[in-house]
Amino acid sequence: MKCLQCQNPESKVLESRESRDGRTVRRRRECVSCGYRFTTFERSEEQPLYIIKRDGTRELFSREKLLKSMGIACQKRSVSSKSLDAICDWLESVCHSSEEREITTQKIGELVLEALLKLDPVAYVRFASVYRAFSSPEDFVLELKLLIERAQKNNFNLDLEKEN
């Protein structure tokens, strides 16, 4: 791992910690040349996961793209980046536990919506508006009606008031 400060390829590991799920290792490193300290994260390499887009094209799954899209939906909401990372971890484990190496954007979108609904209903509606390509105010109204019906049917609260 090259030093971020001087680009020296040699560093020594000061500390290593495994993540809770055991899939990532966090290493604290120090450059042997300049003494600069930095952190790296290591993940075991898994079989590549391909995304089948609506137009039929395929591309590699990108955790960064998923985090970015969820981040946009959660803007100005009290949703932590840690929560979004947890959703990505969960989604990746669901996808990798499947025997399929290709997954549709539709399946990923539905999984993200399922997770966002539990996390923040406003973020859910924002994500749904892009994912489902809402084209009119009526699309929002319909989605909100379905969301309220689902909440009543499953007996969960959509109240966004948070206790401090």
Q: What is the pLDDT of residues 55-89, one digit of tens each?
A: 999 999 999 999 999 999 999 999 999 999 999 98
Q: Are 116 and 124 in contact (CB under 8 A)?
A: yes
Give SS3 for 38.
strand
Instruction: Output the six-digit token pair for 139.
Output: 């699309």
Q: Which residues face 31 on adjacent strands?
A: 11
Is the model's pTM score more than 0.85?
Answer: no
Model pLDDT, residue 161: 43
Token pair, residue 31, equals 């450059």
CA–CA–CA angle 70, 128, 133 (5° rounding): 115
Q: What angle do CA 65, 111, 60 make, to 5 degrees?
A: 35
